[in-house]
Amino acid sequence: MSTTISRTWYNTLVDDSGSNLDGSVIDKADFDAILDAIDAIFADDIAMAPTKKLFLDGGGNTYIQEVSADGMLLHVGTIEGLYMTTTAFYAIAVYGDTTANATNMTVASDGRIQRSTSTRASKQDITPLNLDEAFPVVMGLQPVTFRGRGDTDSQHRLAGFVAEDVAPLAPILATYDADGSPNYVTYDRIPAYLVPVAQDHEARLAALEARLR
């Protein structure tokens, strides 16, 4: 409650002598002291005991809570909406809000959001992808067209692949739910499989042309 509003409310209840309209006496000095204490509390940082909740809906189910030394949770309604640590940001509700369009970031099954990067510094155990590994995957891919469930424009057809079809061919071309079920095709990784096949194809054509000359 705003202390300005509270003082105004008090003044409407008493006459000039400080007596209530029904004749009882209201101690204005005590009342002002309480409001001054409230002013002092909100004039500085508010400290709460660890793991205690700061409710935003009067004590219902929407609140902010420190759940660890460096972790904060925003709980909204019946779900854990946002979770932040010093090293990660999780939007738990985002994982269930899907689209079949391409993406430029990764959302893990636990809601963690990460930016994708292609730098050498972000990689380890770098190994060339050879033709023997790439060729059967490329030949086994089954491109499809489809309409995305839950998309804003559900009538618009898209082209792509089905995660359950791609995962058996090349497990690293899919991402997985917490239970291990494939849920997404990493479309941006597919060209890596196409390159050695195209290079081999061009090498064979060049060799054939050389023989025909």
Dump pLDDT digits (tens) for 154-183. 678 889 999 999 999 999 999 998 899 999
Distance (Å, rounded) from C-alpha 62 to C-alpha 49? 18
End-to-end CA distance of the chain: 92
Distance (Å, rounded) from C-alpha 73 to C-alpha 65? 5
Residue bearing tokens 């196409």: 194
CA dihedral 151, 156, 160, 162 (to 10 degrees): 50
Q: Which residues of the chain have pLDDT under 70?
A: 1-28, 30-31, 41, 99-104, 152-154
Residue 116: per-residue pLDDT: 74
Residue 134: per-residue pLDDT: 96
Residue 1: per-residue pLDDT: 43
Residue 154: per-residue pLDDT: 64
pTM for the complete prediction?
0.56
Residue 26: per-residue pLDDT: 57
